[in-house]
Amino acid sequence: MSRLVVVSNRVAPITEGEATAGGLAAGVMDALRHTGGLWFGWSGQTVPDVVPPESLPPGLPPAVARSGPVTLYTTDLTQRDYDDYYRGFANGTLWPILHHQTGLARFDWQEFEGYRRVNAHFARHLADLVAPDDVIWAHDFHLLCLAGALRDLGLQNRIGIFLHTPFAAPSVLMTVPVHAELVRALCQYDLIGFQTEGDRTAFADYACRELGGTALEGGAVSVEGRLVRTGVYPIGVDVDALRAEAVAGAGEPQLAALRSGLAGRALMMSVERLDYSKGLRQRFAAYERFLARHSEWHRRVEYLQIAPPSRTDVEAYQAIRRELEGEAGRINGRFADLDWMPLRYLNRSFPRRALMPLYAAARVGLVTPLRDGMNLVAKEYVAAQDPADPGALVLSQFAGAARELDAALLVNPHDEAGVAAALARALAMPLEERRERHAAMLRVMRHNSLERWRDRFVDDLRALSTGERGAA
């Protein structure tokens, strides 16, 4: 079988059996172990700009680790690369645009050049590493221009990309001055995977309307003489492993401390990277409204928000952090009493093995992003629950996960009153209803597992024969 080569912005530092890896890293690593293969990405280190990346010495980057049949390769970036590509175009332009936050997006030609430069830099290293028969699987919005850069170097391999984020509506994408160039670059891939049908359609609509493409049978799109396959591959979680982690951690002292602090109060819980797309500001406002409207829940409920800081050197992230700190203090100031703190806002990360038992202890899981490719937290929350007495999930209709988890209480995160009402409903939900909704969600999640996500994408990419690729 042809070898699998995975490329992502970062290479996850995981070893076999390690419980800290997220769903994506674990799924990718499993896929690689299956066939043997290679994972390439940025080391996370920056080096001074003394040597321009164009003149880096040729040859292989160092192999940093080997785990069974998997080899991990990394490359460093210069400070300038990091600023232009990662902090600049990827996180300052693409991320907000893909999440429809045009007001938070900036555009800078130099940063876009840096983005293309780093994609080309990745391509040069990869070209030295791959064999003609290897299949290359790139991940996410950092690498939209990678296939084009590899083609420029003459590589004819099967190359696919899975977009973890949503794809922007054409009218929103077009606010980026280089929108056509980006989508043309994307069309150099043989297969593009999306989380939902809505994302796939947004891409096809753009390609047809703006680039004169034609949508063909089976999700293929013909664009400017190239045939690109597209597909929907909703990412999943390993349900049994997550539930096992939740059970294994049930006796942890940390959990006992939380329980004793709760003193019988119901726990509502959210976890996410501190990111403006996750709807934290709107969620805090909805919780405040819930507290104002439902005094019967005072002292009987506590909302735990875990939000580890992320992308801290991007200004929009510093702003949302400042704002949430103020809001958390204000809400507690308004409602807290000597014996009750309604909101616990923790700006730090927790080890994965601590997270699952927390999910299991929460009567309500609150996942209300403004827009999200999938949202794994929603799936993790459901997986961690005790099926005999599960908690209720309040989920944004704008998370990709809502397409599958329609047995959750679906809300519009912009509707404060609607979210507040859903919180009250979730807290009071009878056992029978909780069980039914949980069983329905679990059924879908077992079907759309992490394994299925990975196998379907890799199988579809492998199945492309040379004859049917490229020219339309």
CB of 217 to ligand GDG, least distance (A): 27
List C-alpha distances in Å: 153 to 85, 185, 256, 356. Answer: 21, 14, 57, 45
Nearest partner of 148 among 128, 126, 129, 175, judged by Cα: 126
User: Which residues would be at the binding site for ligand GDG (CB under 6 A)?
Assistant: 20, 22-24, 164-165, 235, 271-273, 306, 308, 349-352, 355, 372-377, 380
- What is the bridge-based pairing of β-strands 301-306 and 343-346? parallel
Please indicate whether residue 238 is annotated as part of the active site.
no
Q: What are phi and psi of 388, to 5 degrees?
A: -75, -25
CB of 160 to ligand GDG, least distance (A): 15
Cβ proximity to ligand GDG: between 20 and 466 the closer is 20
452 half-sphere exposure, CB direction, 13 A CA radius: 15
Task: Find the catalytic residue in 84, 134, 199, 372.
Answer: 372
Amino acid at 343: L
Cβ proximity to ligand GDG: between 123 and 401 the closer is 401
Report the first-to-last Cα separation within the chain, whole angstroms: 26
Q: How many helices (H) and strands (E) does the chain have?
A: 17, 17
Task: Find the catalytic residue in 164, 190, 275, 438.
Answer: 164
Cβ proximity to ligand GDG: between 165 and 222 the closer is 165
Please indicate whether residue 438 is annotated as part of the active site.
no
Contact yes or no for 445/382 (Cβ under 8 A): yes
Integer Cα distance of 354 and 252 in angstroms: 8
Q: What are phi and psi of 129, to 5 degrees?
A: -95, -30
- φ/ψ bin of 356: left (φ > 0), alpha (ψ from -120 to 50), beta (otherwise): alpha
CB of 386 to ligand GDG, least distance (A): 19
Cβ proximity to ligand GDG: between 282 and 375 the closer is 375
CA 420 to chain CA centroid, Å, is 26
Integer Cα distance of 204 and 83 in angstroms: 31
What is the full DSSP assignment across 208-270? HHHH--EE-GGGEEEETTEEEEEEE------HHHHHHHHHHGGG-HHHHHHHHHHTTPEEEEE
Contact yes or no for 306/347 (Cβ under 8 A): no
Q: Which two tokens stand for residue 4?
A: 């699998």
Cβ proximity to ligand GDG: between 89 and 162 the closer is 162
CB of 457 to ligand GDG, least distance (A): 12
Cβ proximity to ligand GDG: between 74 and 396 the closer is 396
Cβ proximity to ligand GDG: between 24 and 407 the closer is 24
CB of 154 to ligand GDG, least distance (A): 31
Q: Which residue is listed with tokens 């940063």?
A: 111
CB of 224 to ligand GDG, least distance (A): 29
* Residues annotated as catalytic (active site), given as ranges: 164, 372
